[in-house]
């Protein structure tokens, strides 16, 4: 069995999709709108477009660098260009933005509330595990990168 991976507790897209689905189901059963639609919907659309672009940019940058995108596969190199100059986790920032974008388009309170535990699981169950893995695998190279680029934004 290949142990060259961070051992995340859940794949990030599964975490975000499951929470969003649960929140939208709750919204269907007990609709609550946190904002007025004329504020929520344009903001949601903007977040979807920007987050989608960030996700594509991050994935293309990783592939161009020759490393795997999935945390279930080994990281082959530290990527420090493209969106990785701005945040160590552009794909998680983009997933959070996509989640928020959908939540705002629907103008639903429940998925918005569920985002708090999602971000906590992402932080402690995914990102921190990835960081320990990258520190162990890449040592000073990762420490230097970590010192100059923020975790989120």
Reduced to 3 states (helix: H, G, I; strand: E, B; else coil), residue 136 is helix
On the question of pLDDT at 128 being above 90, the answer is yes
Q: What is the DSSP string of 67-83?
A: --SSTTS---S---SGG
For 110, other C-beta atoms within 10 Å of its C-beta total 23
Q: What is the mean pLDDT of the chain?
A: 96
pLDDT tens digit string along 87-104? 999 999 999 999 999 999
pLDDT tens digit string along 40-91? 999 999 999 999 999 999 999 999 999 999 999 999 999 999 999 999 999 9
On the question of pLDDT at 2 being above 90, the answer is no
Question: Considering the chain, what percentage of its residues have pLDDT values greater than 70?
Answer: 99
pTM of structure: 0.94
Confidence label for 1 from pLDDT (cuts 50, 70 and 90): very low
For 15, other C-beta atoms within 10 Å of its C-beta total 22
């Amino acid at each position: 069995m290949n142990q060259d991976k961070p051992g995340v507790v859940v794949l990030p897209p599964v975490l975000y999709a499951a929470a969003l689905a649960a929140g939208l189901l709750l919204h269907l059963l007990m609709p609550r709108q946190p904002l007025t639609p004329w504020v929520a919907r344009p903001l949601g659309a903007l977040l979807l477009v920007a987050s989608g672009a960030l996700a594509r940019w991050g994935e293309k940058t990783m592939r161009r660098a020759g490393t795997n995108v999935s945390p279930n596969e080994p990281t082959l190199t530290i990527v420090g260009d493209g969106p990785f100059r701005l945040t160590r986790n552009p794909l998680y920032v983009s997933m959070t933005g996509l989640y928020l974008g959908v939540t705002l388009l629907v103008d639903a309170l429940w998925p918005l509330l569920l985002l708090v535990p999602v971000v906590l699981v992402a932080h402690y169950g995914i990102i921190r595990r990835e960081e320990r893995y990258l520190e162990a695998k890449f040592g000073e190279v990762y420490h230097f990168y970590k010192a100059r680029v923020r975790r989120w934004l």
